[in-house]
Structure 1
Amino acid sequence: MLYSLIDANEKYFYLSEIEGDAILFYRYNKKPCYKSVMEVLLRMLNAFNYKLIELEKYLGTKINMSLKFILHHGKFSRYNIKYFNKLYGEPIIEAHRLLKNEYAKYPSYILLTNSFLYAIEYSDHNACKNKIYIPEVGLFHYL
């Protein structure tokens, strides 16, 4: 499953580390492009869903897996350890904490944090289909 996400990324984001069932991707960009980021995430979602269906058919059973994307923005540092880029800084700690949030209503989502929304100058916080804005955290887009 992780391979499908990494391949679908098509090197848009850099890969920092894989920890259990989580992948930490990053990208240096003072002003992220919402459209480009969402295209990559939806490509990754499609690859994940395709692989999940393939695996369910092979095993002959339903598999209950979810996918979470946290889009966060802020200053962080990077250092190299052999072949890995280790990231550190407050935004990295915040993103890790947000993976375990209590706000999500459904298991699969894209969370656009307030710092990310501010960076892309996003202002349409009105809830619409599959989206809900929570002022303390940001915008949840349910998949």
Structure 2
Amino acid sequence: MFEDNKGLVFIVDISGYSQFIREISPPQGISIIRHLLKGIIKCNFLSFKISEIEGDAILFYHLGTPPSVKDILKQFGHMRNSFKKNLRHYYLKFPNIKHLDLKAIAHYGNLVEFRINRFYKLYGNILVDAHRLLKNSVPSHAYVLLTTDYLEQMSNFPIDYSNTYGTYQCDIYDVGSLCYTYFPYNDAN
């Protein structure tokens, strides 16, 4: 019925969503968010499975050996480019929409995939940790956050890469300390 595996959770989340839904009517907001999320899903070249879409976030996952750091960063770059391109279609009609951006969390650990009717769901502490990490102290609205648990799986990941291009830090949550390296993005990325 279910099997305990190791896997990657990759959550892609829209920064600025709470402000966005306060400033726009539901029919317009739904139409825009649907278009933006469909663009993100279309760019899923790593063929991640989708567990859930909740509001402004897509919970992607991959069982087994995780993709490389290079592939994760490239995947996010493609998704963000699509997001920004689709977002530009709305700038004239909704100028306040320019504050929206993307962030992503990549976390690795024990993960159980189970089925409820035609839906596949995930279970495990990895999900609790990943959701906590969406509320972090990263001083950017557009970034990829790679947890230490994920990075430890990358035997060919150069340690100095995270110090040169990313920033290492830890945040304290009700589940304890969670450490990660984040890579900020801006419109030049």
TM range (shorter): 0.7 to 0.9
* Pairs within 5 Å for 1:106-121: 106-121=140-155
Match of 2:68 in 1: 33
What RMSD over aligned residues (CA atoms) do the two structures have, in Å?
A: 1.7
Unaligned runs of 5+ in 2: 1-35, 171-177
Map Cα deviations across residues 51-96 of structure 1 (whole Å, 9 max, x no partner): 1112214x25141112110010111101122332111101111001
Q: Is the 8 A contact 1:12 1:40 kept in 2?
A: no
How many residues are aligned here? 139
Unaligned runs of 5+ in 1: none
Q: Is the 8 A contact 1:71 1:111 kept in 2?
A: yes
Match of 2:52 in 1: 17
Q: Could you tell me how far 1:31 is from its partner in structure 2? A: 4.5
Asked which structure has the greater RCO (Cα within 8 Å, sep 6+), the reply is: 2
- Out of 68, 88, 103, the residue aligned to residue 53 of structure 1 is 88
The structure with more radius of gyration:
2
Structure holding more strand per residue: 2
Q: Is the 8 A contact 1:32 1:119 kept in 2?
A: no
| Deviation >4 Å, runs of 4+ | none
In structure 1, what residue type is equivalent to 2:54?
E
Match of 2:163 in 1: 126
User: Would you say 1:137 and 2:179 are equivalent positions?
Assistant: yes
Aligned-pair identity in percent equals 35
TM-score by length of 1: 0.88
Q: Could you tell me how far 1:134 is from its partner in structure 2? A: 1.1
**Larger mean Cα displacement after TM superposition, 85-94 or 22-31:** 22-31
- Out of 109, 114, 128, the residue aligned to residue 79 of structure 1 is 114
Q: Is the 8 A contact 2:111 2:124 kept in 1?
A: yes
Map Cα deviations across residues 19-70 of structure 1 (whole Å, 9 max, x no partner): 111110001132432222222211111101111112214x251411121100
- Out of 115, 119, 123, the residue aligned to residue 88 of structure 1 is 123
